[in-house]
Structure 1
Amino acid sequence: MARIVVIEDEAPLRESILMLLRFEGYDAVGAANGGTGLEEIRQQIPDVVICDVMLPVMDGFQVVETLKGVPETASIPVVFISALSDRAAIARAREMGVQAYLVKPVTFEVLLEELKAVLGEDQGGDA
């Protein structure tokens, strides 16, 4: 079972994503800001991080920079979800090695599809 850390400051959205991931069989934990998200990641290295870009304490770009700067966490795949849709932010995320950049509002189906692609899970047939 893949472990996923969800870093999202909007509590209702974070809780919805966590509920969805747990329903799908993932071991999912949440954090309300970049600082506590990094603490969760350090406690038990996840298989993937889903992270908002605009966060209090430490934004998503700072989270990724921190992860990439430590050998133990440098290879963790990151999926950004953000209301920030400008090309510069998306380009910066890609340059930093973010695997996917999803613009809010994002459907749970799209999020799961991207997550499965990042994790290399068999997507099966069309549903």
Structure 2
Amino acid sequence: MNSKQKILVIDDEEGIRDTLETILSLDGYDVTTAINGEEGIKSAEAHIPDLIICDIMMPIMDGYEVAKRVRENKEMVATPFLFLSAKASHLDFRKGLGAGADDYLIKPFRNEELLAAIEMRLKRVKSLTDGQKSLEDSINNAKHIQDVILPMDSALENQFKDHFKIYRPRDVISGDFYWLKERENETTFFAVADCTGHGVPGAMLSMVCYDKLNAVSAENRSISPGKLLTKVNGMIYDFMLANQKDIPIKDGMDIALCEFDSDKKSVVFSGAARPLYIITDQEL
């Protein structure tokens, strides 16, 4: 129980509203009441309660419509919704749950049953919320790791004095990346990769590709861009199929790789499903 948790009671019977408000207030909840469905929707949208208790048979707007409207609101799509009604048939119960309710209690009700149902629903929401927060924290940590791995802006500035960068991941973490490698022969590799997947799966595949680019370029110091991509492609393919030969690979990696030689003022290009565009004097 949490004294800060807000419960909205929607019922056209004053006696029921007063009884519920007393029971719930004594148990530490912050209670708001509404006399019909229309007023209940207005109150819910204005205050976003932690849980809603709603009658079914009410004037102006019945409980089924209230449940539908609540579920259509993005801020309340997961808000626990309990029907409290005198309609007691099995079909009524099924219709209530089908309308979007999480639970269905019958009037007259026992205080213990009501409070137990409320506590269970609020605990479940808290568990889901905590799990969501943990997932979001993990994804944000993964983004930090990904940001650390990508070339620093200072490294790009050192290699390319006149440049700009547009890097806008669709999700928190990205399946796309860019890669920079200074070579002992005083040339520089630079790659831009586009993963066909997104989010966590795309980011994981991009990190595998990033690692293989580093490994192959370190072991083969004079390798050309074309041979580098061919080698990396084979390594990734072998890696993906090593222990999961029966599972198809759904995502791939498109990549453009250039080797820049500042002394010769030359560019050697190799691409996998990515072309190279050269613009000189504002002409393509």
Tell me if TM exceeds 0.5: yes
Partner of 2:33: 30
1:71-101 CA distances to partner (integer Å, 9 max, x unpaired)? 1222111011000012222112222331110
Of 3, 9, 13, 1:10 maps to 13
1:35 is matched by which residue type in structure 2?
E
Q: 1:116 aligns with which of 94, 108, 119?
A: 119
SS in 2 for 1:21: helix
Segments of 5+ residues of structure 2 without an aligned counterpart are 125-284
TM-score (structure 1 length as normaliser): 0.90
Quote how far apart the aligned CAs of 1:46 are.
0.4
Q: Select the residue among 61, 66, 70 that pairs with 1:67.
A: 70
Aligned partner of 2:107 in structure 1 is: 104
CA offsets per residue over residues 4-44 of structure 1, 9 Å max, x none?
00001110111110011111110101011000011110111
Query: Structure 1 segments of 4 or more deviating over 2 A?
Result: none
Computing the radius of gyration from Cα coordinates, the structure with the larger value is 2
Alignment RMSD (CA, Å):
1.2
Indicate whether 1:95 and 2:98 are aligned. yes
Deviations 1:99-122 (A, max 9, x none): 11011100111111111111118x
**Corresponding position of 1:40:** 43
**Greater relative CO (CA pairs within 8 A, separation 6+):** 1
Task: Please identify, of 27-36 and 93-102, the stretch whose mean Cα deviation from structure 2 is larger.
Answer: 93-102
Give the total of aligned pairs.
Answer: 121
Partner Cα separation in structure 1 for residue 46 and residue 71 of structure 2: 17
What residue identity is the alignment partner of 1:61? Answer: Y
- What residue ranges of structure 1 are gaps of 5+ in the alignment? 122-127
1:124 counterpart residue number: none
Q: In 1, distance between residues paired with 2:70 and 2:89?
A: 23
Q: Residues of 2 paired with 1:21 and 1:110: CA distance?
A: 12
Percentage identity across aligned positions? 33
Superposed displacement of residue 70, structure 1: 1.8
